[in-house]
Structure 1
Amino acid sequence: MNLSTIDISIFVIYAIALLGLALYISRNENKHERNTEDYFLAGKSLPWWAIGASLIASNISAEQIIGMSGSGYVLGLAIASYEWMAAITLIIVGKYFLPIFLKNNIYTMPQYLEQRFDSRVKTIMAVFWLAVYVFVNLTAVLWLGGLAINTISGVDLATGMIFLGLFSLAYSSYGGLKAVAYTDIIQVVLLIFGGLMLTYISLDLVSEGNGMFAGFGILTENLPGRFDMIFSSDNPHYADLPGISVLVGGMWVMNISYWGFNQYIIQRALAAKDLKEAQKGIAFAAYLKILVPFFVVLPGIAAVVLFPDLNRADEAYPSLMTLMPVGLKGLVFAALIAAIVSSLASMCNSVSTIFTMDIYSHIKKNRSQTHYVKVGRIVSVLALIIAMISAKPLLGNFDQAFQYIQEFTGFFTPGIVVIFLLGMFWKQMNSVGAISAALSSAALSFLFRAAFPELPFMDRVGVVFLCCVAIAVACSLVTKTQNSEHESQTVSLGDVNFETTVSYNILAAGIIAILTAFYSAWG
Structure 2
Amino acid sequence: MTEIALSNLDKAIIVGYFVIIVLIGFFVSRKTETGDDLFLAGRSLGWLAIGFSLFASNISSTTLIGLSGQAYMTGISVANYEWMAAVVLVVMAVFFIPYYIKSRITTIPEFLERRFDVRSRKYFSVITIFLSIVVDTAGGLYAGAIVVNVFFPDIPIWQTILALGVFAGLYTAAGGLKAVVYTDVLQAVILLFGASVLTYLMFSKFDFSWASVTATVEPEKLSKIRPLDDPALPWLGTLIGVPVLGFYYWATNQYIVQRVLGAKDIKNARWGAMLGGTLKLTALFIMVLPGVMAFSVFPNLDDPDMVFPTMVANVLPIGITGLVLAGLISAILSSIDSTLNSASTLITMDFVKAKNPNITNEQTARIGRITTLVLMVVAVLWAPNIANFEGIFAYIQQAFSYIVPPVVAIFFMGILWERGSRNAAFITLVVGHGLSLVLFILSAMGVFQLHFTITAGLLTIISFGVFYVVSIRSEAPETGEFADITWKPADARPSEPMPLWQDYRVHSVIVLLLTAASIIAFW
State the 1:515 CA deviation.
Answer: 2.0
Q: 1:437 aligns with which of 410, 428, 436?
A: 428
State the 1:97 CA deviation.
Answer: 0.7
| Whole-Å separation in 1 of the counterparts to 2:152 and 2:481 | 55
* Matched letter for residue 322 of structure 2: G
Moved more, 324-333 or 427-436: 427-436
Q: 2:351 aligns with which of 359, 366, 391?
A: 359
Q: How many aligned positions are there?
A: 507
Distance 1:116 1:75, change over 3 A: same
* Matched letter for residue 379 of structure 1: T
Contact 2:136 2:335 in 1 (8 A): no
Partner of 2:202: 202
Contact 1:3 1:330 in 2 (8 A): no
Deviations along 1:77-114, one digit per CA (max 9) or x if unpaired, are 11001001111111111121100111111000111111
Q: 2:232 aligns with which of 232, 240, 249?
A: 240
Distance 1:416 1:144, change over 3 A: same
| Whole-Å separation in 2 of the counterparts to 1:446 and 1:161 | 30
Distance 1:229 1:221, change over 3 A: same
State the 1:492 CA deviation.
Answer: 4.5
Question: What are the equivalent positions in structure 2 for 1:340-351 lying under 5 Å apart?
Answer: 340-351=332-343
Partner of 1:287: 278
Structure 2 residues not aligned, in runs of 5+ = none
| Whole-Å separation in 2 of the counterparts to 1:256 and 1:495 | 20
| Whole-Å separation in 1 of the counterparts to 2:302 and 2:18 | 32
Partner of 2:82: 83
Contact 1:62 1:144 in 2 (8 A): yes
TM-score by length of 1: 0.93
State the 1:244 CA deviation.
Answer: 4.5
Task: Provide the alpha-carbon RMSD of the alignment.
Answer: 1.9
Partner of 2:213: 219
Partner of 1:420: 411
Contact 2:35 2:368 in 1 (8 A): no
SS in 1 for 2:492: coil
2:473 corresponds to 1:478: yes
SS in 2 for 1:135: helix
| Whole-Å separation in 1 of the counterparts to 2:37 and 2:453 | 39
Partner of 1:231: 226
* Matched letter for residue 159 of structure 1: Q
Q: 1:338 aligns with which of 321, 326, 330?
A: 330
Distance 1:492 1:144, change over 3 A: closer
Partner of 2:19: 16
Partner of 2:47: 48
Distance 1:492 1:197, change over 3 A: closer
Moved more, 361-370 or 223-232: 361-370
Contact 1:264 1:347 in 2 (8 A): yes
| Whole-Å separation in 1 of the counterparts to 2:220 and 2:363 | 56
| Whole-Å separation in 2 of the counterparts to 1:178 and 1:253 | 29
Aligned residues: percent identity? Answer: 32
Deviations along 1:365-415, one digit per CA (max 9) or x if unpaired, are 31121111111111111111111111222x112232112211111112111
Partner of 1:457: 452
Partner of 1:390: 382
* Matched letter for residue 167 of structure 1: F
State the 1:493 CA deviation.
Answer: 4.4
Deviations along 1:307-339, one digit per CA (max 9) or x if unpaired, are 211121110001111112111111100001101
Deviations along 1:97-134, one digit per CA (max 9) or x if unpaired, are 10011111100011111111111111111111111111
State the 1:506 CA deviation.
Answer: 2.4
Deviations along 1:237-276, one digit per CA (max 9) or x if unpaired, are x133112441x31111111111111101011011111000
Partner of 1:499: 493
* Matched letter for residue 464 of structure 2: V
| Whole-Å separation in 2 of the counterparts to 1:162 and 1:98 | 36
2:306 corresponds to 1:315: yes
Distance 1:356 1:84, change over 3 A: same
| Whole-Å separation in 2 of the counterparts to 1:161 and 1:252 | 32
Partner of 2:182: 182
| Whole-Å separation in 1 of the counterparts to 2:40 and 2:211 | 46
TM-score by length of 2: 0.93
SS in 1 for 2:402: coil
State the 1:505 CA deviation.
Answer: 2.3
Question: What are the equivalent positions in structure 2 for 1:70-219 lying under 5 Å apart?
Answer: 70-154=69-153, 155-204=155-204, 206-207=205-206, 210=207, 213-214=208-209, 216-219=210-213
* Matched letter for residue 355 of structure 2: I
2:363 corresponds to 1:371: yes
Contact 1:149 1:160 in 2 (8 A): yes
* Matched letter for residue 280 of structure 2: K
Contact 1:152 1:319 in 2 (8 A): no
Partner of 1:255: 246
| Whole-Å separation in 1 of the counterparts to 2:402 and 2:481 | 27
Structure 1 residues not aligned, in runs of 5+ = none
Moved more, 467-476 or 165-174: 165-174
* Matched letter for residue 163 of structure 1: A
| Whole-Å separation in 2 of the counterparts to 1:477 and 1:227 | 47
Q: 2:398 aligns with which of 407, 410, 415?
A: 407
Deviations along 1:126-169, one digit per CA (max 9) or x if unpaired, are 11111111111111111111111112222321121112112212
Partner of 2:321: 329
Partner of 2:514: 514
Contact 1:423 1:429 in 2 (8 A): yes
